Amino acid sequence: MPTQLIFVAIFIAASIAYTVWMKQRTKQGISAARPAFHAFFERTGYRYADLPQAPVEAQVDRAYHDAAHPDPKGGMDLHYVRNFHGLPVHYRSKSWSERTLSKTTYYRSNQWDADLPAPPRVALHIADKSLASVMSKVGEAFTNQSRNFSPKCAHQVVTGIPSIDDKYVVYGDNPDAVRHVLSRNPALVQLLQNWAQMDLSIVGQSAVLFDPDYKNLTAAMGGMVGGMAMMFDFGKRTELGIPVHDRVAELLATLARAAA
């Protein structure tokens, strides 16, 4: 057999063995994750949006099934909803692809949002400075990734609060009203600290925290390295995400009260 064919045969055999190993590890990880799935739905109060009245066990069965049968094309469309002290809070995570003759483009969306009973008295938008900077657009020009970001309100606002102005860019339709809301709500200012990424807005009928890069959930796992180390530990990944979901819900509820 020619040497080239030997190497090709070895490569194919190694690829098959790796694929089998990955499937086995994934199956084992999912099997061990059922208690963590139960804890997630029990502690957060989340329910699948299309199973709002189903008991926890039904939610766990659905999560287990979805984890064990992923979309072979890599797509995902996840939607949870919870009642957080009377405020409906949603978690939505979606990934999909669109194919043309020349290329395939991959998209992802990840956010938490709260349904407001009425539009806020004060609309505002708070985001990491890096998201709004010119350099972020320059950086995107040298990669194959881009993020859609645009201010949700008309005016940029200097709040006079160092812990906000040093890290974030703030927008509002009424700058004085935005400054008033933040100065009168120290609990909100405190909740705005220590996020891996911030892109928070309250306009129209909803308050939203966008995190399409999953940076806040990834940070809870110890960053990219920690996430890779827990690649097959679905239970641990689920467990570590619970405090993030709870903290986001508290942030959205506090913002909704402050801006009402």
User: pLDDT of 33-74, one tens digit each?
Assistant: 788 899 999 999 999 999 999 999 999 999 988 888 888 777
Q: Report domain extents, the chain.
A: 74-259
Strand pairing category for 155-157 and 124-128:
unpaired
Rounded distance, CA 124 to CA 30, Å?
41
- The sheet that has 155-157: what strands, in order across it? 47-48, 76-84, 87-99, 104-115, 206-210, 199-203, 124-128, 168-172, 155-157
pLDDT band at 220 (very low <50, low <70, confident <90, very high): confident
Q: Is the pLDDT of residue 203 over 80?
A: yes
Q: How far is residue 211's CA from residue 112's CA, in Å, rounded to a whole number? A: 8
Residue 201 confidence (pLDDT): 98
For the chain, the C-alpha Rg in angstroms (whole number) is 22
pTM of this structure: 0.83
pLDDT, tens digit, 9 for 90 and up, residues 129-180: 999 875 454 444 445 667 789 999 999 999 999 999 999 999 999 999 999 9
Closest to 170 (Cα-Cα) out of 200, 208, 209? 200
Whether the CA torsion 242, 29, 109, 205 is positive or negative: it is negative
Q: Which two tokens stand for residue 170?
A: 């703030």
Closest among 251, 200, 207 to 118, alpha carbons compared: 207
Q: Measure the CA–CA gap between 66 and 37, rounded to whole angstroms.
A: 12
Given a contact cutoff of 8 angstroms between Cβ atoms, the answer to whether 92 and 113 are in contact is yes
Work out the average pLDDT over 122-127: 98
pLDDT, position 2: 55
Q: How far apart are the first and last CA of the chain?
A: 76
pLDDT of residue 227: 56
Question: What is the pLDDT, as a whole number, of residue 228?
Answer: 60
Let me know: does 49 contact 80? Beta carbons within 8 Å: yes
